[in-house]
Structure 1
Amino acid sequence: MALNSRMADWRGRTVWLLGASTGIGRATASALHAQGAKVVVSARSADALNAFVEAHAGALALPLDVCDAPAVKAAASVLGARGALDCVVYCAGHYHAMNATHMDLRDLLRHNEINYLGALNLLDAVVPQLLAQPLDKRTGQRAHISLMGSVAGYRGLPNSLAYGPTKAALINLAETLYLDLHDQGVGVSLINPGFVNTPLTRQNQFKMPALITPEEAAREILHGWARGEFEIHFPKRFTCWMKALRLLPYPAFFAITRRLRQA
């Protein structure tokens, strides 16, 4: 059952991706550009964004720090003045493995600032703007918002003290946004990847099961949008197993995750 308008025709549509200098964000921006979208990419690295624009004619770079609320709001205003925003994708992320015996408060807060508070900065800047846009005759909606979560947000996991809670917050946020905005003509989707080969995951010192490329992740995301899905999770051979963990009672869940920690 489609919970959102199906988005398959990207020709001429404006999509703003925040956190698009590397990894899943960049690959998704490239895939959208190939489908004819007007792609706007934002991140802190101006050099990386400019390199993307050079390789993708017609794309626009708007360097910014998602933790800088005034900068995010200013960028949203610039884009609003250029016309309607059809889709906004928050894929900025920060990750370091951490557990409670080696807690780093500064890095804990950095995870929160980028992974969660940055999303709030974006929503504060764009939601009023998107609600003021007219309904699109092709989709029947005003715009669409996608938040990049993670299966790490499903339940508490080893070495995920800093990262997991921020993704759990994004999952809850996306669910609430859907309830609040769907009937107002703004679609909302949640993207929950498993392991994707990006600069963030390359820090991991363990074998990552069902590891996929950013390009494969981008194809899954576009497929999910085309199907009108609320939650877009991939690869299914891993994420469905992670979903099963959510259903376990605590004794069974903790027994399994202890074994994961010792592996």
Structure 2
Amino acid sequence: MSLNTPITDWQGRRVWLVGASSGIGAELARQLAGRGARLALSARNAEGLRAVAEDCLRAGAADVRVEPADVTHSGDLAQVRDRLLAAWGGIDLAVLNAGTYRPLRAWELSPETVRETLSVNLLGVMDGAAALVPALLAQAEQGQPAALAIVGSVAGYGGLPRAAAYGPSKAALINLAESLYLDLAPRGVSVFLVSPGFVATPLTAQNDFHMPALQTPRQAVEAMLRGFSAGRFEIHFPRRFSLVLKALRLLPYRLYFGLVRRATGA
């Protein structure tokens, strides 16, 4: 049995993508445009959003709204939400995908880098959820589609080298998504947790180490769409990599630390 209401038909579906100017968010916008979705694209990079919007129009999208927003500015997402509700009358799916990443070892941490990472990856997502949940609940009560997707990372499964700020921010998103699901699913709101492995984006281009099972944004989005269509709670990929990381968490710490050190060379 599906944990969420499967999303199989995107024609006319009202989708708000936060973090849509590059990487997974941009590719998801392009793919949904070709499937007939109505799109709202948000990110700090307005120029990047306009370029993605042009791609979406070329793909056949009939309705693409560019809605720049900075998730670190409390209130930005609520303002976009209000504009979308006024224009569309509802939001069928919101994908909270905004994120930042800097590879950091423990001795490279600083208050500035910690706050920057948590402001985008965690607080920005929580602000988005706070802005969206009342509207999604109201839609669900009226029998309309209502879904929220949170994009985390397999880096949230357990401690990893070079992830002293990024990993904890993504671990918190796992907990957040689980908590939201327990509260919202019984009231008709689907909650999806997306946990990608390594995906070739401008952020992962910073890495100077081998990234196992590296995927393209297109491959990542195809996995997301399969997960939406199956109604899964967690959509994790590539499974040959994500399942290994899940299995590692079942081991005693002595084995976990040793295997991670050996695999990463840390």
Q: Which residue of 2 aligns with 1:229?
A: 232
Deviation, 1:55, is 2.1
Per-residue CA deviations over 1:206-263 (Å, capped at 9, x if unaligned) read 1111111001101110110000000000111111111111111111001112223426
Deviation, 1:149, is 0.6
Distance 1:121 1:94 in 2: 16
Whether the 8 Å contact between 1:158 and 1:260 is mirrored in structure 2 is: no
Q: Which fold has the larger relative contact order, with Cα–Cα distance below 8 Å and residues 6 or more apart in sequence?
A: 1
Per-residue CA deviations over 1:33-86 (Å, capped at 9, x if unaligned) read 111100111000111111122222231110010111211111111111121100
Give the aligned residue type for 2:218: E
Distance 2:54 2:163 in 1: 37
Q: Please, what TM-score do these two structures have when normalized by structure 1?
A: 0.96
From 146, 159, 162, give the equivalent of 1:159.
Answer: 162
Distance change (3 Å), C-alpha of 1:29 and 1:166: same
Whether the 8 Å contact between 1:41 and 1:62 is mirrored in structure 2 is: yes
Aligned-partner SS, 2:139: coil
Instruction: Give structure 2 stretches of 5+ with no counterpart.
Output: 58-62
Deviation, 1:135, is 5.3
Q: Does 1:60 align with 2:78?
A: no
Aligned-partner SS, 1:202: helix
Q: Does 1:121 align with 2:124?
A: no
Give the aligned residue type for 2:107: T
Q: Does 1:80 align with 2:85?
A: yes
Q: Does 1:252 align with 2:258?
A: no
RMSD: 1.3
Aligned-partner SS, 2:15: strand
From 130, 150, 154, give the equivalent of 2:153.
Answer: 150
Distance 2:29 2:186 in 1: 27
Whether the 8 Å contact between 1:135 and 1:142 is mirrored in structure 2 is: no
Aligned-partner SS, 1:56: helix
Whether the 8 Å contact between 1:131 and 1:142 is mirrored in structure 2 is: no
Per-residue CA deviations over 1:169-204 (Å, capped at 9, x if unaligned) read 000000000000001111001000001000010100
Distance 1:156 1:22 in 2: 27
Q: Does 1:19 align with 2:22?
A: no
Whether the 8 Å contact between 2:29 and 2:56 is mirrored in structure 1 is: no
Give the aligned residue type for 1:129: A
Q: Which residue of 2 aligns with 1:197?
A: 200
Q: Which residue of 2 aligns with 1:169?
A: 172
Deviation, 1:147, is 0.3
Instruction: Give structure 1 stretches of 5+ with no counterpart.
Output: none
Q: Please, what TM-score do these two structures have when normalized by structure 2?
A: 0.95
Q: Does 1:99 align with 2:141?
A: no
Distance 1:196 1:149 in 2: 12
Give the aligned residue type for 2:231: G
Aligned-partner SS, 1:132: helix
Distance 1:186 1:253 in 2: 36
**What is the number of equivalent residue pairs in this alignment?**
260
Q: Which residue of 1 aligns with 2:60?
A: none
